């Protein structure tokens, strides 16, 4: 079976392709289909957005599609930015704009109250196929940005049990513990049981 990954993000493509190696399925990404339209992520939950992305791209392409949606939920901000993580600092904002906003919003919040979690929901949608898996990574928001690796909010997020941020970890280590890594692992198990 062919599986279309609903992303252009190189890190995600590497991570998911790696998890599905040996499954007998051929993994493609949006880079292989430049003409497919962008799906508007206007749902108010991660579940809704990942299902919408997977279903619409399957309907356009006819290929079983795997789509993920991730949000960073910060307790001191009542779960914000959550499903709005990508454009939190405004339309067209950069990862740095979002991190700067996070540090501003969390300024003065004591260390015991800086808890946060990344949550990732993955949906696989195809002909007679609808599967979901999720993963979570708990940690805290740092007082300043640290590290150059990764993307998104990685420089301001320190996983529990670590004294480095996600942006200071190698991709392999991040994938092993991350929200998406865990969700992908669960989904890979499900996919392995689907006949190629
Ligand atoms: P997406 O659903 O994976 O596109 O994620 C939405 C937003 O959450 C991204 O634009 C990033 O800002 C953030 N994000 C997603 N995954 C990660 C991650 O692994 N580390 C840091 N930020 C992430």
CB atoms within 10 A of CB 179: 22
Is-catalytic flag, 69?
A: yes
Rounded-to-integer distance, Cα 137 and Cα 152, Å: 15
Task: Write down the residue that tokens 């195809």 correspond to.
Answer: 126
CB 132 within 8 A of CB 110: no
CA distance 57 to 63: 8
Give the Å distance between the CA of 71 and the centre of ligand 1.
6
CB within 8 Å of 74: residues ≥ 6 apart: 80, 81, 102, 106, 115, 116, 141
Contact 82, 71 (CB under 8 A): yes
Q: Which of 16, 8, 44 is nearest to 124 (CA)?
A: 16
Domain count of the fold of the chain: 1
- Spell out, as residue ranges, where the chain has pLDDT lower than 70: 196
What's the token pair of residue 62? 């006819």
pLDDT computed for residue 96 by the predictor: 97
- Does the CB atom of residue 153 touch ligand 1 within 6 A? yes
pLDDT at 196: 64
Q: What is the CATH number of the domain that holds 46?
A: 3.90.950.10
Separation of 162 CA from ligand 1 center, angstroms? 20
- In this structure, what token pair is assigned to residue 42? 């206007």
- Among protein residues, the one with the nearest Cα to ligand 1's atom 2 is 69
| Tokens standing for residue 157 | 């997020």
Model confidence pTM above 0.95: no
Catalytic one among 35, 42, 69, 127? 69
Domain range holding 155?
A: 2-192
């Amino acid at each position: 079976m062919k599986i279309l990954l609903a992303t252009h993000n190189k890190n995600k493509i590497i991570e998911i392709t790696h998890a599905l190696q040996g499954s007998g399925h051929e993994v493609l990404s949006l880079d292989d289909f430049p003409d497919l339209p962008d799906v508007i992520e206007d749902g108010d939950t991660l579940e809704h957005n990942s299902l919408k992305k997977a279903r619409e791209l399957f309907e356009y392409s006819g290929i079983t599609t795997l789509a993920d949606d991730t949000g960073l939920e910060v307790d001191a901000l009542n779960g914000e930015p959550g499903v709005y993580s990508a454009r939190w600092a405004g339309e067209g904002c950069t990862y740095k704009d979002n991190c700067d906003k996070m540090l501003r919003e969390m300024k003065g919040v004591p260390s015991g109250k800086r808890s946060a979690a990344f949550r990732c929901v993955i949906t696989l949608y195809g002909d007679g196929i609808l599967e979901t898996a999720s993963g979570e990574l708990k940690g805290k928001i740092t007082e300043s940005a640290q590290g150059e690796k990764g993307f998104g909010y990685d420089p301001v997020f320190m996983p529990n049990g670590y004294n480095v941020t996600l942006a200071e970890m190698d991709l392999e280590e991040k994938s092993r513990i991350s929200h998406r890594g865990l969700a992908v692992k669960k989904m890979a198990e499900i996919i392995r049981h689907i006949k190629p």
